[in-house]
Amino acid sequence: MVAITNMKKKQIEINFITGNKTKFKEVSELLKPIKVNQVDIDLEEVQEVEPKKVVAHKIEEAFSRHKGPFIVEDSGLMLDCLGGKLPGPFIKWFLQYQGIVGIAKLAKASKKTRAKAYTLIALAKNQTDIKFFLGEVSGFIVPPEGKYRFGYDEIFMPSGQKRTLSEMKHLGDYTKSSRAVAVKKLKKYI
């Protein structure tokens, strides 16, 4: 986090280390009026089930390639049909090999369509001053709907909603995702 002060107002800027332009766009929208700078580095995703360990590894790698302060994040999806923990941080590979249709069919066939999406953001001011912000949203896996193609958004419908995340984001509503919940906590902290 870099604070730039002028005589009239204080402008806060945050460096977000991610090679993912869609994540950067969403975080930038959610953090307004805070300015977010993308540091375009693809961080290794360690093979670990616990989100905090995945993010801690990203922080360590980020500090080896960029000095702080910055934010990093990791998102995942936990399906009841896979014991409530998986695919978790392995969602990227599940999507690559099963696709959104395959995941939706798996949930439907098991009759366990409940799921929980999460995003864990870490604000690393330096290597010892690190704060974590967890966003979680419960919902259901449904057949793919929506034009906003990103991750599992087309098949995840948050509880109490009538649209998938994809449909909501296509309409400009980024506020119902786990990333939005985590960013809201980060913004409140800042």
Enumerate domains of the chain plus CATH numbers: 2-189 (3.90.950.10)
- Can the peptide bond before residue 143 be classed as cis, meaning omega within 30 degrees of 0? no
pLDDT for 120: 98
Residues 45-92 pLDDT 10s = 888 889 999 999 999 999 999 988 999 999 999 999 999 999 999 999
Mean pLDDT of 8-31: 88
pLDDT for 172: 82
Assessment of whether the complete model's pTM goes beyond 0.95: no
